[in-house]
Amino acid sequence: MIDEPDSAEARAIPPGSLATPKHMLLAAGIIAGGLVAGGFLLGDGLVRMKAAERSVTVRGLAEREVTADLATWTLSLAATATNLQTAQASTDRDAEALRAFFADLGFPESALTPAGVNVSNYTDDGTVFYTVRQRIVLRTNDIDRAQRAVRSQADLVRKGVVLEDGSGISYTFTELNAIKPAMVAEATRDARAAAEQFAKDSGADVGGIRKATQGYFSIDARDGEAGGWGIGDTPFKKVRVVTTVDFALD
């Protein structure tokens, strides 16, 4: 007689045997649910990452007209003679006439500074010629008076003083740091206006600044380059800065 196994043993699944269809369905359902959830989270993360990448890069411009606050005029005097002492005496006389010219215009003596003496010579038909050059620098913050001096150069010619080529005046604006913050803010506002127009055309909203580059400040003559006959420069300047700003788009 063969003994029948009891019901508990009959229902047990021996180790190593295959699972029943019910167990397989349950496991498959768990795996499928995990894949769906993982896919949703991954997809949502990609969407959010893509949204974070939405931005627009624009440039903003700020310009301002200013007046120089420093004038520097390097004046070069020269005389040539067959005798070194004669040439030196000639430039000394011109230097004195030059100092008197600026004194008559109301410049203090401290506004003029000697900038060196240069001596050269050459031979022509056996004769040695000596050339003596003296340089005197006018440095002043009185821009109006400096302009009057430039316009009055003909008075020097009448006194026999001839300035060499290159004796031009230059005007400098030294207060750039005082206007930098306001100009950067203005350029940033200009950049945002451009970004808002771009966003409007594309159906988006402008968010915060992601990255910004100030750019370089340039100072140029307001009316273009000037020069010739000792004029050399103009006190009227244009300060310019261009910023590059990366705005997020919402």
Per domain, the residue ranges of the chain are 11-51, 55-67+175-249, 70-171
What does the alpha-carbon distance between residue 247 and residue 229 come to, in Å, rounded to a whole number?
50
| pLDDT over 90 at 96, yes or no | yes
Q: Which fold, 70-171?
A: Alpha-Beta Plaits (3.30.70)
pLDDT at 31: 59
State what percent of residues in the chain have pLDDT above 90.
Answer: 58
pTM of the model: 0.70
- Cβ distance 238 to 63 under 8 Å? yes
**Arithmetic mean of pLDDT, 12-17:** 50
Q: Which residue has better confidence, 243 or 12?
A: 243
77-89: pLDDT as tens digits = 999 999 999 999 9
Assign domain 55-67+175-249 one CATH number from 3.40.50.2300, 3.30.110.170, 3.40.1710.10, 1.10.340.30.
3.30.110.170
- Cβ distance 198 to 247 under 8 Å? no
168-196: pLDDT as tens digits = 899 999 999 999 999 999 999 999 999 99
- Cβ distance 115 to 74 under 8 Å? yes
Give backbone dihedrals phi and psi of 248, rounded to 5 degrees, phi first.
Answer: -75, 145
Amino acid identity for residue 151 in this structure:
R
